Amino acid sequence: KPRASKMSPPVPPAVGSHFLHVDDWSREKLDAVLATAQEVKAIFKSKDAQDFKPLAGKTMAMIFTKPSMRTRVSFETVRSFL
């Protein structure tokens, strides 16, 4: 069941690791990341979405190797929700 609490956001199973290629992570870790994504999506669809700010007080950087307005705007939109 999704946790719809602003006090305890889901903790990604890949904290402290990087995802550069699908072969970098095990099947179990990929499944856990996808399960966490489903949990976060359910929270955003719930009535508690306005209180859910898992990245509050954190810094997020975006580095792109090629200019892409669509990608940049998509990431900026998501960042504003988190």
Give the model confidence (pLDDT) of 17-74 as tens digits.
777 788 888 898 888 888 888 988 888 888 777 788 877 888 777 777 777 777 778 8
pLDDT at 13 (0 to 100): 63
Residue 33 CA to residue 18 CA, distance in Å, equals 12
The whole-model pTM stands at 0.55
Q: What pLDDT score was predicted for residue 3?
A: 46
CA-CA-CA-CA torsion sign (11, 2, 46, 75): positive
Instruction: Categorize the per-residue pLDDT at 5 as very low, low, confident or very high, splitting at 50, 70 and 90.
Output: very low
* CB within 8 Å of 21: residues ≥ 6 apart: none
| Residue 78 tokens, joined | 């998501």
3-state SS class at 39: helix
Residue 79, amino acid: R
Rg (CA), the chain: 14
Query: What is the pLDDT, as a whole number, of residue 1?
Result: 46
